[in-house]
A = this chain, B = another copy of it.
Amino acid sequence: MENFTFFNPTKIEFGTGKELLIGRHLAEHGIKKVLLCYGSERIKREGLFDIVNQSLADKGIVIVELGGIVSNPVISKVREGIALARAHQVSAILSVGGGSVLDSSKAIAAGVRYDGDVWDLFVGKAPVESALPLFAILTLAATGSEMNAGAVVTNDETREKFFIMAPPLFPKVSIVNPALMQGVSRDYLVYSASDVIAHLIEAYFTATVHPKLQSRLVESLINTVIETTEALLADPADYGARAEFAWAATLALNGLTFSGVAGFSYPNHAIEHALSALFNVPHGAGLSVVVPAWMKWYRDRNPLQFERFAKNVFGVDTGEAGIAALQAWYDKIGTPTRLSQLGINESDLPAIVENARGNVRVFGIADTYTPEVVTAILKNAL
């Protein structure tokens, strides 16, 4: 087991009706005016906006609104948020939405406290040293952003999809009410399952040090995602399954499974970010295409762990059979496993490979994931 520091100060309020507490939590942190970030108008139609509004009004907290944040969120919108936050001198950011809204909120929170252009923080020109306090009400379980210090945003000019990560970006409080996720579409449910599984397998397979305890935890979470996704496809109103899915998504990227793990990398995310950046495909849909393709390329580099995965997740004997089982499961639940399903053809590969060069650089794996290697992996998904 490698040396590590575990620190995760985010308070999670999990369960039905917890959104009613949002005003109280902001008030406890002394917040008087907040930038409320959201995506579509769905939260207004479905009544969540009114509940949040009332909870904040009850504590005398003033709201400045920033709506219209899109999936694969863009830095231009973040800049708009920073200007708005500054103009109104808000003292906190409240994210109401899924991972895209939350990651944009984190970027705004950091950007307000940084003198230069916020994209500097994504390209490593400056570190994230400070951020406005962040609060979140989650409406889609997938990214784990509600309990970690990372955020991914796309530069809509350069088509770079990069990330920031720093302790000031831990949300103070994240409200996770599985009942608010009942309206998530079938497609986004299965994309979310793919996203969570991808978070879990990157270190599981790539780490040079991966203690057995952490492998067990990862397998527990993957098995939960598989089981609860199937339950939710059968019955979207199954609250128990929705809740276990959501908590598994949070635990998949809150540091728990990475404690004591070393020498790991995020090749699947690095490659998928190129797909999202260029073709605006949903992140989870891109991942279910990239992951099996990458696994086939990577398997012989860590055969024992692939055998372990095959046995403990799908009850099959060989690493190869485990990969086939995962791909078959993706096909079964209806998340793409081929580039063609994303409308991407062999002729697009050079552009993807070129875009991925920046990603593998920021993920620190450019030496291994050369253009030739990325091409070979993507060809497994044609």
Contacts and interface: CB of A to CB of B under 8 A. Distances in A.
A16 B216 CA distance: 23
Nearest to A178: B1
B11 A3 contact: no
B7 A14 contact: no
A211 B3 contact: no
Interface of A: 1-18, 178, 211-213, 216-217, 219-221, 223-224, 227, 239-240, 243-244, 247-248, 251, 256, 259-260
B5 A243 contact: no
A177 to B, nearest CB: 9
B5 A12 contact: yes
A102 B229 CA distance: 42
A333 B62 CA distance: 62
A70 B18 CA distance: 43
Given A216-B224, A223-B216, A256 B256 contact: yes
A217 to B, nearest CB: 6
Contacts of A2: 15
Contacts of A243: 1, 211, 260
Contacts of A223: 216
A260 B15 CA distance: 9
A251 B17 CA distance: 28
B211 A240 contact: yes
This chain: copies in complex: 2
B8 A244 contact: no
B5 A240 contact: no
A211 B244 contact: yes
B12 A240 contact: no
Contacts of A211: 240, 243-244, 247
Nearest to A4: B14
Contacts of A4: 12, 14-15
A213 B224 contact: yes
Nearest to A7: B11
A5 B1 contact: no
Contact of A11 (B5, B15, B178, B247): B5
A1 B212 contact: no
A248 B216 CA distance: 11
B7 A12 contact: yes
Contacts of A13: 5
Nearest to A221: B213
A217 B257 CA distance: 11
Contacts of A16: 3
B244 A1 contact: yes
A219 B381 CA distance: 36
Nearest to A256: B256
B213 A220 contact: yes
B14 A6 contact: yes
A134 to B, nearest CB: 15
Contacts of A17: 3
B260 A1 contact: no
Shortest beta-carbon contacts, A-B, top 4: A3-B15, A1-B243, A216-B220, A6-B12
Contacts of A15: 1-4
A244 B7 contact: no
20 contacts: A1-B178, A1-B244, A3-B14, A3-B16, A3-B18, A4-B15, A5-B11, A5-B14, A6-B11, A6-B12, A6-B14, A7-B12, A8-B8, A211-B240, A211-B247, A213-B247, A216-B224, A217-B217, A217-B220, A247-B260
